[in-house]
């Protein structure tokens, strides 16, 4: 294997290095890459919204299917722009209220279902030390999140056990995330050493 | 105290440099740390090795994008090689537009490498392997595959009609496929388990990122999946298995990374320990 | 506790009706293992048809039971509606035992509500050829025939089952428990709301980290540095973001009192404009509307790492003395917290994402964990109406703990000590949840 | 006053309650409503994204006009944004658009769209590189911030260390029992605490959602009475 001849690989490699240069210190190369990323990610977002929303959800239903109900969200969306006119800026609250209202309405039932699944999963189907630990862990953690009682005396001790459980969980999550992030760095190094420079097989 | 001050005021760029070295050096001078094969990896390997007849079909779900490519790409490659060694046909399928690029990349690389290493057993795009075209709809697509795979996709990702491809001979529904390995780091795994495995009784294994591996252990326990590859380590174990049993000699993306992974983890532990020693010395001195 | 009892009782009734329905549907045809080779064997009417319960109509469920020895055979299902025949599914494994004839996105009127349908099954050893499929749906086929054959194999045809009609339900009984618990929490909430209105004082414990807000703003002012408030990458529909906005109101009021500057880089323009209004109001409340600068609350980009890079760069340029990270955070959390740590800012973080909390705990001075953060936003308002939600949540927690304890006791007595009665009760409890 | 405050609260309340009721009703009418609300949300969200684009363009044009330090970088943003959006809209997002295929016959329905090139070779490498910077930040955090200050922090540290070392070949080489220990930690104490936190968070979410629907929580509308 030898050094890559593909212009695209070179672009990727140079941009990768430009971002790593930030580890040394902030510099024009990093700044260039940073701003470039902002620019192209917005450009990408516009394109995706254009094809997946504007065309498929607004233009096609309106023009091809003659579904005039689409005009309502269209107007709601346009109301967002009232923000640019001082006297009418409050109108933009209506589309926001719509998104928030419908969003919370959609989330409440699934939150409950999720809750049930968690409680159900905690039930000890077999009597083992492990299951006992799970029940104790869940209950003490919940008691840590008690707000209408002061954490003193018995409650205080129980919530101490709860926070210990929380810390063990955080430790495990931390360990696993270290592993994943190092894998990502390994991935970039492989790209640089192999796809670009061709040093390793 | 001098030492403590030195450590405390150390420029963090030195730490960055060390991290980089700790990862890069094992690449250039690999050690090849011995590795134990974990049971979930072994069972996936055994299923593909023993339970799929020659010319059987392995379906591989490429449902990841470049952000988790480092962990999942090596798995896809190892699985493809394993299928080639056993003369199985491989079908790639993706539920995400970005997955298409990933799949094409794997097919490209594995075919070139395989054919140069095994001139006596050439593999061909369209006959032994292909990538089904991307069709939007996720769960709708999975369900439709249970009724008619060729009608769901019509074409492969290279624009060839599926009915003209030898790789698709006799493939109509999930029943004609022997095994599926789903590679993903997101909730799409659950959809596959619900539809392909739950509704159509497709035998399934999962390959996923280190972050999700802990979560997906529960699918292993429930028997919805009979194997699990977790993170770069899982991929490395799989590479080890095909190396030992089939004499695989190509590039081992994951195994090569394992030395780096090991050394980086040790380095992290050292950092934490050192940081704490300094912390306690300082506390002790201040306490006096 | 009374409510809890009602929940149990209601769910109990529900459960019985379910098991009753299932009993009705059971019972099947056992078949001679050699059935397929013997042309005289009858399959009988092996299919059980039913409307799929709790759906929006347009769905028929077809069940069958076959002898285990036939589990590797293939089943093809044909539907008849008047004289029109259609293949519903072909080459199903006989062992799968069930298939659903439903509407799909491509064919929305596949199954019409109220229409009478009849179903027939065809059993074969190997996959069905296209010719046979065509033959099965053609008019000339006599549905009374029991077997047909082609060059490869013999096909066994069952008696026709039906008629069956699909219908739409108005209430999904499977979701009754959700409805009941939603009613319970709403009731508790309204109860405490009423109590609060009548002047009952609701207690909320001190949340460490909140008292640090003033200290952080003050120290930052002393050093002549701005404050940075990061709302994460959530949208205004995300509850953690809303909680973050509430805390922002409080922080910016302090900022106005200290006459310093607050920077709010945003990920989402709606969050940005909302944040602008929140800050503007807080400044007005503090009597310093003149200090409010709309441009200090700016939009960066709606791209996770583009945002992280942007905020990171801004942090290094502006060197804020205090950094607040309150909202929804994902992988970018560590970049932000570590950069904040490196410029020596006091950091107060809070999020509901469990995967990110370890880094906040590690790199920040104070961290509000999960529900603590949401409680903090309530605590800051000190509004009795708001506090009532905390009280309702705590009662729900007590209920959950009690259910868990009941489960534990039943678990010890039932699956643990194999006392059948408790075993049944335990399974019932699991079923309800 | 009505339009400013009451109407938005009514809108939020109506759609909140309607979507909750929808959850319990499987009838086709309710499903049509559900799909309609989802589509509406997608459309309105697209407009809020448009606002985002407008804000960015405004921010950077102001910088360029005023020649703020580093204004050249703002030019980078505007130019790259313009080019990407242009080729994206004209040339298709994931697969080439029909216009592009007519203009340049080399593009087939199965080939990669031009936008995907900027995505695969510019956006992706930069994003995954920034992601991998986390490995470095984490190293520095491990060194500087991970102190066994208290019993809690010690627990966190010890667990993190066991998981970190036990999940790599070298760790297994050092002590064979590591995988079992880690499995145990993940399955029991870790799972228990995760559940406890999640139950708390979900309860908090439900309570806040209720307050929104009832019109008690109104921070999302911005301040103002």
Region C202-212 average pLDDT: 81
- B175 vs C contacts (CB less than 8 Å): 74, 91-93, 127
What is the number of structural domains in chain D?
3
Please, are residues C208 and C366 in contact by the beta-carbon 8 Å criterion? yes
Strands B57-63 and B179-184: parallel
Instruction: Based on DSSP, count helices (H) and strands (E) in chain A, helices before strands.
Output: 6, 0
Residue C176's Cβ-side half-sphere holds a number of Cα atoms within 13 Å equal to 19
Residue D91 host element (H or E): helix D71-91
Q: Where are the domains of chain A?
A: 124-201
CA distance A91 to chain B (A): 35
Which residue of chain D has the CA closest to C189?
D207
For an interface test with B, the pick among C61, C72, C92 (most B C-beta atoms closer than 10 Å) comes out as C92
Mean pLDDT by 10 residues, chain B (288 residues): 74 90 89 82 94 93 84 93 94 84 85 90 91 77 83 81 89 90 85 81 90 72 83 91 90 85 92 87 80
The pLDDT of residue C17: 44
Region D195-220 average pLDDT: 88
Q: Could you tell me which of B99, B63, B59, B42 has the C-alpha nearest to residue B240?
A: B42
Q: Across the interface, which of A11, A77, A163 has its CB nearest the CB of D121?
A: A11
Region A118-127 average pLDDT: 76
CB contact under 8 A, C394 and A127: no
A71 — contact with chain D (CB < 8 Å)? no
Greater model confidence, B196 or C12: B196
Q: Across the interface, which of B12, B176, B201 has its CB nearest the CB of C96?
A: B201
Region D2-19 average pLDDT: 89
What tokens does B149 get?
A: 């795979």
Q: What is the residue-averaged pLDDT of chain D?
A: 84
Residue A170's Cβ-side half-sphere holds a number of Cα atoms within 13 Å equal to 28
**3-state SS assignment for residue C367:** strand
Is the predicted pLDDT of residue C61 greater than 60, yes or no?
yes
Region C34-39 average pLDDT: 45
What is the number of structural domains in chain B?
1
Please, are residues B238 and B75 in contact by the beta-carbon 8 Å criterion? yes
Is the predicted pLDDT of residue A201 greater than 70, yes or no?
no
B137 — contact with chain C (CB < 8 Å)? yes
Q: Which residues pair with B61 in a beta bridge?
A: B93, B182
Q: Which residues pair with B131 in a beta bridge?
A: B92
The pLDDT of residue B180: 95
- B236 vs D contacts (CB less than 8 Å): 169
Region C53-78 average pLDDT: 78
Whether residue B130 lies inside any domain: the answer is yes
CB contact under 8 A, B147 and C342: no
Strands C117-124 and B57-63: unpaired
**3-state SS assignment for residue C277:** helix
Give the residue carrying structure tokens 């929580």. D217
* Partner D, chain C 123-182, Cβ-Cβ below 8 Å: 168-172, 175, 178-179, 182
- Kindly report the CATH number assigned to the domain that includes residue B73: 3.40.50
What tokens does C391 get?
A: 């009280």
Using N-to-C axis directions, what is the helix angle for A7-20 and A28-49, rounded to 10°? 120
The pLDDT of residue B221: 66
Residue pairs between chains C and D whose CB atoms are closer than 8 Å:
176
Using N-to-C axis directions, what is the helix angle for C420-432 and C2-25, rounded to 10°? 100
CA distance C179 to chain A (A): 8
Percent of chain A surpassing pLDDT 70: 99
The pLDDT of residue B123: 92
Query: What are the start-end ranges of the H helices in B224-252?
Result: 231-246
CB contact under 8 A, B271 and D142: yes
Structure confidence by residue, pLDDT tens digits, C266-286: 988 778 888 988 999 899 999
Q: Across the interface, which of C306, C390, C430 has its CB nearest the CB of A120?
A: C430
Q: What does pTM read for this prediction?
A: 0.80
The pLDDT of residue C107: 64
Give the residue carrying structure tokens 């930690």. D185
Q: Across the interface, which of C178, C236, C306 has its CB nearest the CB of A112?
A: C178
For an interface test with C, the pick among D26, D192, D210 (most C C-beta atoms closer than 10 Å) comes out as D26
* Partner A, chain B 96-155, Cβ-Cβ below 8 Å: none
A124 — contact with chain D (CB < 8 Å)? no
For the stretch B242-256, what's the b/e string if a residue is b when 16 or more beta carbons lie within 10 angstroms of its beta carbon? bbeeeebebbbbbbb
CB contact under 8 A, D130 and C178: no
Which residue of chain A has the CA closest to C433?
A116
**3-state SS assignment for residue A41:** helix
Structure confidence by residue, pLDDT tens digits, A130-148: 888 989 999 999 999 998 8
DSSP letter string over C149-189?
Answer: E-SS-EEEEPPPEEEE---B-SS-GGGHHHHHHHHHHHHHH
Query: What are the start-end ranges of the H helices in B90-167?
Result: 97-117, 139-145, 149-153
CB contact under 8 A, B137 and C105: yes
- B257 vs A contacts (CB less than 8 Å): 183, 186-187, 190
What tokens does C204 get?
A: 């909320």
Q: Please, what are the domains in chain C?
A: 25-164 (2.60.40.10), 173-201+394-432 (no CATH), 212-382 (3.40.50.720)
- B12 vs D contacts (CB less than 8 Å): 140, 143-144
Alpha carbon of residue D52 to chain centroid: 15
Phi, psi at residue C84, to the nearest 5°? -90, 130
DSSP E strand stretches across B53-196? 57-63, 89-93, 129-131, 179-184
Instruction: Based on DSSP, count helices (H) and strands (E) in chain B, helices before strands.
Output: 11, 6
The pLDDT of residue D109: 61
For an interface test with D, the pick among B155, B159, B271, B283 (most D C-beta atoms closer than 10 Å) comes out as B271
Whether residue D138 lies inside any domain: the answer is no
Q: Across the interface, which of D125, D209, D221 has its CB nearest the CB of A96?
A: D221
Structure confidence by residue, pLDDT tens digits, D89-101: 888 776 677 777 7
Rounded to an integer, what distance in angstroms lies between the CA atom of residue C416 and that of residue C287? 66
Same domain? D108 vs D56: no
Rounded to an integer, what distance in angstroms lies between the CA atom of residue C431 and that of residue D7? 43
Whether residue D151 lies inside any domain: the answer is yes
Which residue of chain C has the CA closest to D127?
C305
- A172 vs B contacts (CB less than 8 Å): 214
Q: At C5, is the pLDDT very low, low, confident or very high (cuts 50, 70, 90)?
A: very low
C347 sits in the region (left: phi over 0; alpha: psi -120 to 50; else beta) called: beta
Residue pairs between chains A and C whose CB atoms are closer than 8 Å:
147
CA distance B268 to chain D (A): 6
Percent of chain C surpassing pLDDT 90: 20
SS3 content of chain A, % helix, strand, coil (to 5): 85, 0, 15
Structure confidence by residue, pLDDT tens digits, C301-340: 776 777 887 898 899 889 999 999 999 998 888 888 888 8
Rounded to an integer, what distance in angstroms lies between the CA atom of residue A106 and that of residue B15? 47
Is the predicted pLDDT of residue C4 greater than 70, yes or no?
no
DSSP E strand stretches across chain B? 57-63, 89-93, 129-131, 179-184, 204-208, 228-230
Q: At C292, is the pLDDT very low, low, confident or very high (cuts 50, 70, 90)?
A: very high
Residue B76: which domain range?
Answer: 34-252
Whether residue B247 lies inside any domain: the answer is yes
- C302 vs D contacts (CB less than 8 Å): 49, 52
- D200 vs C contacts (CB less than 8 Å): 370-371, 397
Q: Across the interface, which of A23, A187, A193 has its CB nearest the CB of B70?
A: A187
Residue D153: which domain range?
Answer: 146-225
The pLDDT of residue B288: 61
The pLDDT of residue B224: 81
Q: Which chains touch C (3 or more CB pairs under 8 A)?
A: A, B, D
Cis-peptide into A5, omega within 30 deg = no
């Amino acid at each position: 294997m030898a050094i890559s001849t593909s212009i695209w690989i070179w672009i990727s490699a140079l941009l990768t290095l430009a971002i790593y240069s930030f580890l040394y210190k902030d510099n024009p190369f990093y700044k260039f890459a940073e701003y470039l990323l902002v620019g192209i990610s917005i450009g990408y977002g516009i394109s995706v919204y254009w094809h997946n929303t504007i065309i498929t959800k607004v233009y096609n239903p309106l023009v091809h299917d003659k579904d005039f109900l689409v005009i309502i969200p269209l107007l709601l969306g346009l109301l967002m722009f009232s923000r640019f006119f001082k006297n009418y800026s409050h109108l933009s609250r209506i589309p926001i209220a719509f998104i928030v209202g419908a969003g919370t309405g959609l989330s409440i039932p699934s939150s409950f279902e999720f809750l049930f699944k968690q409680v159900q999963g905690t039930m000890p189907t077999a009597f083992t030390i492990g299951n006992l630990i799970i029940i104790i862990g869940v209950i003490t953690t919940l008691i840590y999140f008690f707000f209408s009682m002061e954490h003193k005396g018995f409650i205080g001790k129980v919530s101490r056990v709860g926070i210990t459980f929380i810390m063990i969980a955080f430790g495990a999550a931390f360990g696993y995330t270290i592993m994943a992030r190092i894998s990502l760095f390994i991935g970039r190094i492989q790209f640089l050493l192999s796809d670009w420079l061709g040093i390793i097989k | 105290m001098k030492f403590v001050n030195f450590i405390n005021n150390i420029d963090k760029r030195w730490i960055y440099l060390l991290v980089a070295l700790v990862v890069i050096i094992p690449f250039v001078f690999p050690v090849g740390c011995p590795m134990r094969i974990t049971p979930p990896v072994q069972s996936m390997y055994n299923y593909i090795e023993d339970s799929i007849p020659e010319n059987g079909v392995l379906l591989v779900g490429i449902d990841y994008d470049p952000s988790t490519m480092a962990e999942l790409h090596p798995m896809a490659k190892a699985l493809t090689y394993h299928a080639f060694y056993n003369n199985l046909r491989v079908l790639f399928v993706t539920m995400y537009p970005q997955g298409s690029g990933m799949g094409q990349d794997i097919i490209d690389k594995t075919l070139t490498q395989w054919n140069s290493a095994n001139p006596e057993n050439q593999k061909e795009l369209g006959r032994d392997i292909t990538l089904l075209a991307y069709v939007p709809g996720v769960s709708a697509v999975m369900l439709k595959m249970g009724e008619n795979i060729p009608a769901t996709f019509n074409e492969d990702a290279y624009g060839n009609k599926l009915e003209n491809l030898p790789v698709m001979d006799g493939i109509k529904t999930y029943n004609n496929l022997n095994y599926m390995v789903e590679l993903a780091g997101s909730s799409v795994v659950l959809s596959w388990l619900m539809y392909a495995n739950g509704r159509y009784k497709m035998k399934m294994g999962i390959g996923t990122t280190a972050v999700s591996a802990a979560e997906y252990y529960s699918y292993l326990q429930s028997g919805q999946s009979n194997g699990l590859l977790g993170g770069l380590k899982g991929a490395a174990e799989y590479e080890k298995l095909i190396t030992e049993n089939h004499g695989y000699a190509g590039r081992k993306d994951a195994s090569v990374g394992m030395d780096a992974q090991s050394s980086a983890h040790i380095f992290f532990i050292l950092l934490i320990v050192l940081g704490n020693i300094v912390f306690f010395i300082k506390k002790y001195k201040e306490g006096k | 506790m009374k409510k809890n009892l009602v929940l149990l009782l209601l769910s109990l009734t529900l459960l019985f009706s379910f098991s009753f329905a299932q009993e009705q549907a059971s019972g099947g045809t056992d078949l001679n293992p050699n059935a397929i080779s013997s042309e005289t064997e009858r399959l009988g009417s092996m299919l059980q048809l039913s409307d799929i319960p709790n759906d929006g109509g347009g769905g028929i469920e077809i069940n069958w039971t076959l002898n285990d020895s036939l589990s590797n055979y293939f089943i093809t299902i044909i539907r008849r509606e008047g004289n029109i025949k259609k293949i519903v599914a072909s080459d199903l494994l006989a062992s799968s035992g069930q298939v659903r004839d439903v509407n799909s996105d491509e064919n929305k009127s596949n199954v019409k509500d109220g229409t009478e349908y009849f179903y027939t099954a065809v059993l074969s050893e190997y996959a069905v050829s296209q010719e046979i499929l065509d033959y099965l749906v053609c008019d000339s086929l006599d549905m009374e025939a029991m077997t047909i054959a082609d060059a490869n194999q013999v096909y066994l045809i069952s008696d026709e089952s039906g008629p069956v009609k699909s219908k739409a339900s108005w209430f999904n009984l499977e979701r009754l428990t959700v409805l009941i618990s939603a009613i319970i929490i709403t009731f508790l909430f309204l109860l405490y709301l009423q109590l609060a209105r009548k002047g009952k004082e609701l207690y909320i414990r001190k949340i460490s980290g909140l008292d640090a807000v003033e200290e952080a703003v003050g120290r930052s002012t002393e050093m002549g540095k701005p404050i940075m408030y990061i709302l994460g990458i959530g949208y205004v529909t995300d509850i953690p973001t809303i909680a973050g906005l509430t805390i922002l109101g409080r922080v910016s009021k302090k900022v106005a009192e200290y006459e310093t500057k607050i920077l709010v880089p945003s990920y989402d323009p709606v969050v940005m404009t909302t944040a602008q209004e929140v800050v503007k109001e807080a400044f007005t409340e503090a009597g310093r509307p003149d200090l409010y600068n709309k441009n200090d609350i700016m939009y960066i980009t709606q791209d996770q790492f583009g945002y992280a890079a942007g905020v990171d760069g801004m942090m290094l340029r502006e060197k804020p003395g205090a950094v607040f990270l309150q909202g929804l955070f994902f992988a970018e959390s560590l970049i932000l917290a570590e950069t904040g740590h490196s410029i020596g800012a006091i950091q107060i973080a809070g999020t509901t994402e469990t995967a990110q909390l370890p880094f906040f705990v590690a790199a920040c001075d104070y961290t509000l964990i999960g529900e603590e953060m949401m409680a903090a936003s309530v605590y800051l308002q000190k509004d009795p109406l708001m506090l009532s939600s905390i009280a309702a949540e705590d009662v729900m927690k007590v209920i959950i703990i009690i259910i868990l304890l009941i489960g534990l006791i039943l678990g010890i007595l039932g699956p643990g000590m194999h006392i059948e009665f408790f075993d049944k009760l335990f399974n019932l409890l699991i079923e309800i949840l | 006053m009505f339009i400013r405050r009451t109407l938005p609260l009514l809108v939020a309340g109506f759609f909140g309650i309607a979507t909750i009721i929808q959850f319990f009703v499987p009838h086709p009418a309710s499903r049509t409503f559900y799909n309609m609300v989802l589509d509406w949300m997608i459309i309105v969200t697209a407009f809020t994204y448009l606002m985002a684009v407008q804000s960015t363009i405004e921010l950077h044009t102001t910088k360029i006009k005023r020649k703020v330090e580093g204004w050249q970088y703002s030019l980078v943003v505007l130019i790259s944004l313009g080019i990407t959006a242009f080729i994206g809209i004209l040339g298709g997002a994931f697969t080439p658009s029909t216009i592009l295929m007519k203009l340049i016959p080399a593009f087939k329905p199965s080939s990669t769209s031009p936008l995907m090139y900027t995505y695969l070779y510019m956006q992706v490498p930069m994003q995954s590189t920034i992601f991998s910077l986390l490995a470095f930040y984490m190293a520095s955090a491990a060194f500087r911030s991970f102190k066994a200050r208290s019993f809690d922090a010690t627990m966190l540290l010890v667990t993190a260390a066991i998981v970190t070392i036990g999940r790599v070949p070298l760790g297994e080489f050092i002590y064979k029992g590591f995988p079992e220990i880690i499995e145990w930690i993940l399955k029991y104490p870790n799972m228990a605490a995760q559940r406890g936190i999640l139950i708390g968070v979900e309860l908090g979410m439900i309570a806040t959602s209720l307050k929104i629907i009832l019109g008690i929580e109104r921070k999302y509308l911005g301040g103002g009475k």
